[in-house]
Amino acid sequence: MNRKPLINKDNSVNLVDRRFSVAPMLDWTDRHCRTFHRKMTKHTVLYTEMITTGAILFGRGDYLHFNQHEGPVALQLGGSDPEALAKCAKLAGERGYDEINLNLGCPSKKVQKNKFGACLMKEPNLVADCLSKMQSVTKLPVTIKTRIGYDDTEDYENLHHFISTLKSTGVKTFIIHARKAILGKFTPKQNLNIPPLKYDFVYRLKKDFPNEEIIINGGITTTDQMKDHLGKVDGVMIGRAAYHTPYLLADIERDIFNNENVPSRQDVIEQLLPYVREEIKKGTRLNQIMRHTLGLFHGQTGSSFWKRYLSENMCVRDADVKKIDHIMDKIKYNNFDTSVSQSA
């Protein structure tokens, strides 16, 4: 569909191209994963794992740290205190993020206990207050990621009312996981599979809110599916498919963003290794980085060998840095398919 320039609340033009993005995924989309993904795509928007306001404001570590080479990168926040969210939004702007996203879709019991995630769909006015406070302290685009409903509340009218309430704050971008959340009964994994997908709800939102940016998420695994969705909404976000079959990002770079200059799988590893060496010097363990590359050769000749070699040598806690020097030889001499053909 034809894309119009998106205007932020302060009348500035939102320059982030969200035709395609990788979802925030807990324990997966850390800075090492994002660095790896960036080797395959220049344009895809990458998201942090959800980071709670408490961790940012009171935690001992630097939870906002990221590398500039990861960009464009969005920070996803978890929380429901408007003042705390505003403080974190201000810090995110100062640190150089491209977007701030509020998590309104996570269904886990732990998240519900702390009053953030999908349970906030029950309190649209509170969410609106949070979004208003966040936008008051930053010029960055503030966006939301949510579900189509929760528990027995999954009618389109309720979703429309929820989005309309949030729209009134000036938020322009809505990322919709096309499943409802079952709160308190299903595990997060079950919530990713059992509730049926209702893409038509997301399509209807785009028709009803033509001037807002509507991004669809949930169960999307191929570039053909993405192209079909892009005929009806503004953008596509994928999660597990990007993690388990990461070379899909190179396919997207070529097929969605029309960039023919995509690296081979071997090129991806060669480009990643300098980062690995630098991180190890800083005290990062080898397995913390290389675990994200397990699916790189998915569907290709040599895939089983790659996974076995990584699992036995580089994705264990005490992995020896010397193994890095052997990895390229393993690719070259074990009949790996390193072409830039599309992922299986």
CA distance 155 to 130: 24
Residue appearing with tokens 């509170």 = 126
- What is the reported pTM? 0.90
b vs e for 230-253, b when ≥16 Cβ sit within 10 Å of the residue's Cβ? bebbbbbbbbebbbebbbbbbbbb
What is the model's pLDDT at position 40? 97
What is the model's pLDDT at position 28? 96
Crossing angle for the helix pair 265-281 and 31-38, nearest 10 degrees?
150
Residue appearing with tokens 């020097």 = 325
3-state class percentages of the chain: helix first, strand second, coil last, to nearest 5:
45, 15, 40
Query: Coil, helix or strand for 46?
Result: strand
In the residue annotation, 106 being an active-site residue is answered as: yes
Positions in the chain whose pLDDT score sits under 50: 13, 344
Single-letter residue type at 337: D
The two structure tokens encoding residue 100: 């701030």
Residue by residue, DSSP assigns 156-170 as HHHHHHHHHHHHTTT
Q: In degrees rounded to 5, what are phi and psi of residue 49?
A: -60, 160
What is the model's pLDDT at position 87? 98
Name the nearest CA neighbour of 173 among 219, 134, 211, 123.
211
What is the model's pLDDT at position 152? 86
Residue appearing with tokens 């996570």 = 106
In the chain the domains, ranked by start, together with CATH numbers, are 14-255 (3.20.20.70), 265-332 (1.20.120.1460)
Q: Which residues contact 219 (CB under 8 A, 6 or more apart)?
A: 178, 197
- List 106, 119, 130, 315, catalytic entry: 106
Average pLDDT value for the chain: 89
CA distance 218 to 210: 21
Q: Which residues contact 123 (CB under 8 A, 6 or more apart)?
A: 80
Residue appearing with tokens 């320059």 = 15
Q: Which residues contact 221 (CB under 8 A, 6 or more apart)?
A: 238, 241, 245, 248
What is the model's pLDDT at position 188? 64
